[in-house]
Amino acid sequence: MAEAITLEKYLKINDKELAGLIMRIGKIAERISKELPYRRGKANTQNVFGETQLVADKWADEFIIKELRKSGLVKTMISEEQEDVVCLNDKGVFNVTLDPLDGSSNIESNNLVGTIFGIYKKDLPTKGKHQIGAVYILYGPVMTLVYATKNGVNEFLYAGKEFVLKEKNIKLPEPGKLYGIGGLRKDWFPKFRKYIKELEIQGYKLRYGGSFVGDFNQVLHYGGIFAYPSLVGKPIGKLRLFAESNPMAFIIKQAGGASTNGKYSILDINPESINQRTPTYIGNKKLINNLKKIL
Ligand code: AHM
Ligand code: MG
């Protein structure tokens, strides 16, 4: 059997510039997955979005900030759990966005959760198209780390003591098979409801788990569309531009797919606030182009 390619080795050959940061992120993920059984229940606090924080949300946020500060690699950070831009190290070369525990309401039911990073050299806030990389970790039956740069999208799985390459240069399968949509169906706008109905008639299967990382990961592997759409009474949807939508929009683009906020690519949204939300539609290019025409 061929020797497994470790994350460290792969980065050194293919994405040297980000090697130090992504290796750190891998170590952070290892620790988070070990702590999840013990960091349970609600914290008596709310985040800037008015959501009740869980012990795990707060712990992961503080832990990641501490570790990235120690690394000396990161200048500033925007986190879903922080109100303002956090300054980490003046000498840092990267600026990072963070969703420390995405889908954390799944913790109670032991469903999928993840961590999302967007990586920039430009100062934040800026457009998502200026990302130089993005990473997510999926704490699933097996922990996986997916990272993308302009060189492609690569997936690693945690095997015992380190991340090893599972698949390199991932491209979205054509045609896609799945769809997963957040929010209540009764609140979807009629045009969007009709679009989804047509996908169902074409044989697209519903896969929705309530964790962006988990649901996105399904689309990356089987093709299709994920959306947290504009809703009646909540036109900006739910997902956070910096912490959630931009990194995934970057990854899907490198995998040959596309994203939109209903009008144009998520990566082209001009940010007005670091905590802004955006309707998010992500998936195979053809599906996103058709959707844009309909919306
Ligand atoms: P979180 O980061 O606070 O967990 O919120 C984001 C999550 C996404 O992972 C997921 O797509 C969405 O919220 C699910 O929301 P809903 O429960 O409304 O379907
Ligand atoms: Mg989230």
Query: Which secondary structure element, helix H or strand E, spans residue 107, and what is its range?
Result: none
Structure tokens at 73: 């690699």
Residue 217 banded pLDDT, cuts 50, 70, 90: very high
246 lines ligand 1 (CB under 6 A): no
Render pLDDT for 86-143 as a digit per residue (tens, 0 to 9): 999 999 999 999 999 999 999 999 999 999 999 999 999 999 999 999 999 999 999 9
CA-atom Rg of the chain in angstroms: 18
Residues with CB under 5 A from ligand 2 (ion): 99, 102, 244
- Per the structure, the complete domain to which residue 76 belongs is given by 7-167
Neighbours of 224 (CB within 10 A): 27
Q: Is residue 172 part of a domain?
A: no
Q: ∠ CA(283), CA(286), CA(287), 5° rounding?
A: 50
Assess if residue 114 is contained within a domain: yes
DSSP run (H or E) holding 217: helix 212-222
Position 173 in a domain: no
pLDDT higher than 70, residue 5: yes
The C-alpha atoms of residue 250 and residue 138 are separated, in whole angstroms, by 17
pLDDT in tens, 140-164: 999 999 999 999 999 999 998 999 9
Same domain? 137 vs 235: no
For residue 233, what pLDDT is reported?
96
- Given this model, what pLDDT does residue 157 score? 98
In a domain, 216, yes or no: yes
Q: Which of 77, 79, 31 is nearest to 53 (CA)?
A: 79
The kind and range of the H/E element at 153 are: strand 152-159
Provide the mean pLDDT of the chain.
96
Distance of CA 113 to the CA centre of its chain: 11
On the question of pLDDT at 1 being above 80, the answer is: no
Does residue 274 sit in the same domain as residue 183?
yes
- Same domain? 32 vs 135: yes
Q: Whose CA is nearest to atom 4 of ligand 1?
A: 103
- As for how many domains the chain has, the answer is 2
Residue 2 has pLDDT above 80, yes or no: no
Domain boundary among 124, 142, 167: 167
Q: Last residue of some domain: 119, 139, 167?
A: 167
Ligand 1 mutation target, pool 46, 212, 245, most atoms within 8 A of CB: 212
Q: Is residue 2 part of a domain?
A: no
**Based on the domain organization, do 183 and 158 belong to the same domain?**
no
Asked if 62 and 141 sit in the same domain, the reply is: yes
Q: Are residues 21 and 151 in the same domain?
A: yes
Find out whether 101 and 40 touch, Cβ atoms under 8 Å.
no
Residue 183 and residue 121 share a domain: no
In this predicted structure, the answer to whether residue 292 has a pLDDT above a threshold of 80 is: yes
Same domain, 157 and 197: no
- Out of 118, 144, 167, a domain closes at 167
The CATH number of residue 28's host domain is 3.30.540.10
| Residue 271 CB partners (closer than 8 Å, separation 6+) | 125, 126, 127, 241, 242
Q: What was the pLDDT predicted at 270? A: 98
The rounded distance, in Å, linking the Cα atoms of 264 and 119 is: 21
Q: Is 47 in the pocket of ligand 1 (CB under 6 A)?
A: no
The first and second tokens of residue 283, run together, are 């998936």
Say if residue 112 is in the same domain as residue 196.
no
Tokens linked to 109: 């039911």
Q: For residues 70 and 68, what is the distance between their CA atoms, to the nearest angstrom?
A: 5
Shared-domain flag, residues 73 and 159: yes
Q: Are residues 188 and 223 in the same domain?
A: yes
Residue with tokens 């994405």: 15
> Is 1 inside a domain boundary?
no
